[in-house]
Amino acid sequence: MKLNKSNVDAIPLTTSGQKIYRDSELIGFAVRATTKSKSYIIERRNAGELYRVVLGKTNEISTLSARAKAQTILAKIANGEYVKPSKKQVVNNPLDITVQEALDIYLSKNDFKPKTVKQYNKYFNLYLRWSNRKLFEITKSEVLDKFIEVTKLSPSSANGAVSLLGTLWKYMHVLYSSDEDPILRTNPVDVIAVTKGWNKIERRERHLDKEVIHKYYNAVLNYQDELNLENTARSNTHRDILLFTMYTGCRRQEVCKLKWTDINFKDGTVVFRDTKNGADHWFPIGEHLLSILKDRYLLRENDWVFPATKIPTSANIHATCVDRILRVIGDQVDFYVSMHDFRRTFATICNLLRFNIYVTKRLLNHTARPRVDVTGGYVQIPMEELRASMNMVEAVYQGKIDCFNYESVWDERLKQIKAG
């Protein structure tokens, strides 16, 4: 049944235990009745993890307010953005702090993004599995053995998990050790640097090179799935996410979280908010991408440029996963890439087109560090040059510019800049 005021008021209390009444429209939204009260709740499983959230008692919050709150939280759960509130820890004796308690304190005192919180929990729950161990009792030999053990599974995860343990140890030591009551222990993670050494992780180099770039691009351009038949806001969503990423070199989360309010059609610009470096990233886009966005705007049904495709657009949730199209295109052209490989391809094209390094940094939103690159803080790139550069990247994919033919690059570049 649909949970409205009259239906909720009619739900009886139980004689024993509890009973759940689920909403017929909003999956995950429900009322839990017990012997003493009724409460609006969320009960939803996502990516193998169960989320239970109490929204409030039915006599304290209206059905409409509970539904609106549920929609917001369910959207965050679906997008991997919801962080379960951690239980507040009362520390009586710092030496008794467990690894899990230390992590909870660390997370509560820092404003990490949900993705980071999820990764930190994965490091500890999947790899270290020391949640109930007392942090300051972990020894150097245990850390070294654990590092070797996890390295066999994933060298990068071994680095991440053990490094995070060291960070937690330092944080707790500074937080609770004082001159009057010092914690006379040394960080056990220091053993890694002076014995085995951290794992060396090779950077990925995969990108769309001259042998495959046009074949891959045309496969994306002509990609079809059942959603294309709808002619709705969900049509071509996955194809357009890939084209947006290829044309701009952006990160997956940046394009998936793009809202219509982030696009200025008059100026032909886009802004990414809450980016990796913390600053809004504002930039012009090429003509083809602008036309794609204009077509999508005519079919819009909610706040998101790229709405989720497996649930109704009324849920107002953005797309998150493009694994299927990457797999299908990969099978078709016999070349498999990740979303981040498109970012590497974009940077490679910029280099082949001989863009000024500050143009490439500006388009990729790589900020100049004052102590390392003083000049970068002074360089201002004209909007006309940025727009011409984006059009040239599009032209490379479209086969109009051969960036692998170095003799023609500069002539075409000058033409584009003059055209504005």
Is 88 contained in some domain? no
- State the pLDDT at residue 202: 78
Higher pLDDT, 79 or 392: 392
Residues 365 and 283 grouped into a single domain: yes
Calpha distance 316→307 (Å, rounded):
7
Is 204 contained in some domain? no
Q: CATH code at 182?
A: 1.10.150
- Of 155-159, 186-190, 311-315, 380-384, the range with the lowest mean pLDDT is 311-315
- Of 27-36, 126-135, 376-385, the range with the lowest mean pLDDT is 376-385
Mean pLDDT of 297-323: 87
pLDDT at 203 over 80: no
Residues 102 and 239 grouped into a single domain: no
Question: Hey, which residues does 134 pair with through a beta bridge?
Answer: 98
Burial tier of 189 (Cβ tally within 10 Å: 0-12, 13-18, 19+): buried
Residues 157 and 219 grouped into a single domain: no
Residues 291 and 388 grouped into a single domain: yes
What confidence category does residue 23 fall into, taking pLDDT thresholds of 50, 70 and 90?
A: very high
Is 30 contained in some domain? yes
Please state, for a pLDDT cut of 90, what percent of the chain lies above it. Answer: 57
Q: CATH code at 27?
A: 3.30.160.390
158 Cβ contact list (under 8 Å, min separation 6):
127, 147, 150, 151, 199
pLDDT at 180 over 90: no
Is 246 contained in some domain? yes
Question: Hey, which residues does 53 pair with through a beta bridge?
Answer: 42
Is 263 contained in some domain? yes
Residues 261 and 218 grouped into a single domain: yes
pLDDT at 118 over 70: yes
Q: CATH code at 239?
A: 1.10.443.10
pLDDT averaged over the chain?
Answer: 88
Residues 167 and 280 grouped into a single domain: no
**Domain extent at residue 103:** 94-194
What confidence category does residue 281 fall into, taking pLDDT thresholds of 50, 70 and 90?
A: confident
DSSP three-state, residue 118: helix
Domains contained in the chain, number: 3
Residues 230 and 358 grouped into a single domain: yes
Mean pLDDT of 414-418: 64
Residues 403 and 314 grouped into a single domain: yes
- State the pLDDT at residue 374: 55
Residues 293 and 373 grouped into a single domain: yes
pTM for the structure as a whole: 0.66
- State the pLDDT at residue 214: 96
Exposure b/e, 257-271, CB count within 10 A at least 16 = b: bbeeebbeeeebbbe
pLDDT at 257 over 60: yes
DSSP three-state, residue 397: helix
- State the pLDDT at residue 408: 62
- Which of residues 47, 78, 109 is at a domain's end? 78
pLDDT at 372 over 60: no
- State the pLDDT at residue 334: 94
Residues 27 and 143 grouped into a single domain: no
Is 84 contained in some domain? no
Residues 296 and 401 grouped into a single domain: yes
Residues 271 and 233 grouped into a single domain: yes
Which residue is it, tokens 């998101």?
304
Mean pLDDT of 57-85: 84
